[in-house]
């Protein structure tokens, strides 16, 4: 299982990117927001989900772990395959999708190509509690998992691996970063451990 692939961008299209890592070209399926982000880059690090089927091994790439986590939640819904999840994530940002699911916005999900009303309802029913649990909400009710802050993501991920709840870890890390936004990951984790 790959966690991420880092290397030079050899080819880039709206549907996939080829990353040359150590002389091997990895063809990785991407979303439109990822394409837009990579367009100005010469190299990239993408977090990977590997779909293994009888007829193919397909790599899907994401800019951060929050995107990959949302993708995994989407494909856990009955009737949502990897391509449909990619279509959903190409239509809206990670934050917007989390918000739609958490608020039960069937109309917005139904507006995505290939998503009918029943599928939109199933996504909300299956994922609403998981989105609220994984992402958590800050004081303004906005979901913070989608914020592209690698230090924050790494610290929360480390705390969760140490056995702390995702929501509590998220809140502790955010609280620390409000007061000291330039902390390194190790310092952030140590400070959070004292609060937990």
Q: Do residues 58 and 76 both lie within one domain? A: no
What are the beta bridge partners of residue 17? Answer: 12, 28
On whether residue 145 sits in a domain, the answer given is no
Separation in Å, CA 55 to CA 51, 52, 58: 11, 8, 10
pLDDT tens digits along 144-183: 444 446 778 778 877 777 777 777 888 888 888 888 878 8
Q: Residue 137: pLDDT above 70?
A: no
d(CA 33, CA 38): 9
Q: Do residues 182 and 157 both lie within one domain? A: yes
Q: Do residues 74 and 113 both lie within one domain? A: yes
Q: Do residues 73 and 123 both lie within one domain? A: yes
Domain extent at residue 177: 150-195
pLDDT tens digits along 21-73: 999 999 999 999 999 999 989 999 999 999 988 998 999 999 998 899 999 99
């Amino acid at each position: 299982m790959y966690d991420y692939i880092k290397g030079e961008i050899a080819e880039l299209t709206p549907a996939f990117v080829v990353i040359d890592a150590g002389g091997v070209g990895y063809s990785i399926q991407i979303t439109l927001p990822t394409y837009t982000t990579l367009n100005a880059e010469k190299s990239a690090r993408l977090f990977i989900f590997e779909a293994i089927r009888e007829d193919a091994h397909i790599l899907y790439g994401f800019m951060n772990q929050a995107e990959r986590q949302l993708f995994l939640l989407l494909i856990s819904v009955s009737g949502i395959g990897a391509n449909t999840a990619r279509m959903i994530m190409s239509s809206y940002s990670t934050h917007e999708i989390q918000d739609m699911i958490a608020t039960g916005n069937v109309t917005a999900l139904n507006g995505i190509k290939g998503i009918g009303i029943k599928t939109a309802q199933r996504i909300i029913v299956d994922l609403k509690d998981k989105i609220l649990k994984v992402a958590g909400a800050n004081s303004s009710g906005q979901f913070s998992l989608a914020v592209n802050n690698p230090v924050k993501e790494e610290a929360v991920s480390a705390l969760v691996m140490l056995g702390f709840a995702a929501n509590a870890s998220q809140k502790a890390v955010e609280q620390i970063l409000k007061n000291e936004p330039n902390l390194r990951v190790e310092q952030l984790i140590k400070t959070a451990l004292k609060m937990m």
